[in-house]
Amino acid sequence: MVRVRNASVHDLIVCITYDIDAEGRSTGYEFTKVLTALDALHLAIPFGRQATFQEELRVSDKAYFADENEGNLEERIRRKISEAYTEGELVSIERLK
């Protein structure tokens, strides 16, 4: 679970990861926002172009992403989530069991 916190409010996001290829070289990510408390009213998905990761997650509550399987998984998740939120918001990751 990913928690994005700003002061006393936060968004909770579940991130499911999986190998895309048989060799495990690429990872797929599914982000689903399950609790929304941070303001996203200033965001919208404009007509005529593909939505950004930030717009998908903050407006539609779902976003998808894939990358090469390089480096620490939690750090890759943290970097991607940071694209959707501002620098003043703290990102923490907790593994679900």
Tens of pLDDT, residue by residue over 56-90, are 998 889 999 999 988 899 999 988 988 888 777 88
Query: Is residue 1 over pLDDT 70?
Result: no
What is the predicted pLDDT for the residue at 67?
Answer: 93
Query: Is residue 95 over pLDDT 70?
Result: yes
What is the predicted pLDDT for the residue at 36?
Answer: 81
Query: Exposure string (b/e) for 2-35, b if CB count within 10 Å is 16 or more?
Result: bebbeeeebbbbebeeeeeeeeeeebebebebee
Phi/psi-derived region of residue 48, left when phi > 0, alpha when psi is between -120 and 50, beta in every other case: left
**Tally of CB atoms within 10 A around 48:** 4
At which residue do the structure tokens 């620098």 appear? 87
Tens of pLDDT, residue by residue over 29-57, are 999 998 887 777 777 788 898 889 988 99
What is the predicted pLDDT for the residue at 30?
Answer: 95
At which residue do the structure tokens 């998908």 appear? 56
